């Protein structure tokens, strides 16, 4: 991306440095691929800056351990052993969050999602991380498992310098309204259209 050029002059009264350091709400929506992978790609950048990163995997988590988790956990080990990069925590909802150790059935998913959001709110208030990835959180919002207005006001009013990335199809318009960056991943061609199923290394 070319640096330095911005389409319009800033009208927010901030210095360039203050704007540069704005904490961002980033949304990856759309029916195409790349929503989660791009979020985890951002985690690589944050790790390199030494940021504390919290990944909260909401829906896919019950199904399988994805490759990103192993790779980011390996980077967390690098951080702890050598000091390079930053710490990365990976929490998944599927069989109970890692901090609660609670086993969850399909029916308990809504409760687990709410519990996850309460924990994220607590961490945002305490400024635990610099980067939060709420993977597939749009579904949790869409299904009414969490209150959208609560999510929006919590993100909008969060203290300090905390970036939040939310992924999933059909992000709520209220979420998009407070997003600083929102990208729609649109499918142009897809092997599923030809009857292709997912494969390891590519889909997980």
Q: In sequence order, what DSSP letters do the residues of 23-83 get, joined into one string?
A: --EEEEESSSS-HHHHHHHHHHHHHHTT--EEEEE-SGGGT---HHHHHHHHHHHHHHHH-
Output phi, psi for 91, to 5 deg: -120, 135
Q: How far is the CB of 11 from a second copy (least distance, A)?
A: 7
Q: Which is nearer to a second copy, 101 or 188 (CB)?
A: 188
CB of 100 to a second copy, least distance (A): 26
| Tokens 């006001």 sit on residue | 153
| Minimum CB distance to a second copy, residue 118 (Å) | 27
- Under a CB-based contact definition with an 8 Å cutoff, are residues 146 and 109 in contact? no
CB-nearer residue toward a second copy: 6 or 107 = 6
Q: Which residue number, 70 or 102, has a Cβ lying nearer to a second copy?
A: 70
Q: Name 185's Cβ contacts closer than 8 Å, sequence gap at least 6.
A: 28, 29, 30, 31, 32, 33, 34, 35, 38
> How far apart, in Å, are the Cα atoms of 158 and each of 48, 72, 129, 187?
24, 25, 12, 33
Least distance between a second copy and beta carbon 120 (Å) = 20
Closest distance between a second copy and the C-beta of residue 128, in Å? 17
The C-alpha atoms of residue 96 and residue 103 are separated, in whole angstroms, by: 5
């Amino acid at each position: 991306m070319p640096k330095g050029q911005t389409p319009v002059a800033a009208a927010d009264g901030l210095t360039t440095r203050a704007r540069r350091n704005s904490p961002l709400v980033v949304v990856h929506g759309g029916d195409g691929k790349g929503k989660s992978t791009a979020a985890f790609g951002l985690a690589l950048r944050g790790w390199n800056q030494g940021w504390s990163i919290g990944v909260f995997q909401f829906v896919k988590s019950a199904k399988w351990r994805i490759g990103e988790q192993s790779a980011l956990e390996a980077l967390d080990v690098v951080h702890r052993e050598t000091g390079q990069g930053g710490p990365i925590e990976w929490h998944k909802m599927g069989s109970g969050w890692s901090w609660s150790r609670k086993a969850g059935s399909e029916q308990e998913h809504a409760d687990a999602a709410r519990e996850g959001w309460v924990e994220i709110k607590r961490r945002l208030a305490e400024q635990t991380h610099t980067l939060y990835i709420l993977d597939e959180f749009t579904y949790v919002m869409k299904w009414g498992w969490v209150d959208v207005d609560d999510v929006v006001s919590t993100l909008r009013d969060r203290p300090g310098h905390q970036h939040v990335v939310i992924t999933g199809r059909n992000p709520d318009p209220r979420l998009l309204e407070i997003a600083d960056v929102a990208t729609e991943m649109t499918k142009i061609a897809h092997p599923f259209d030809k009857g292709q199923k997912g494969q390891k290394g590519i889909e997980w």
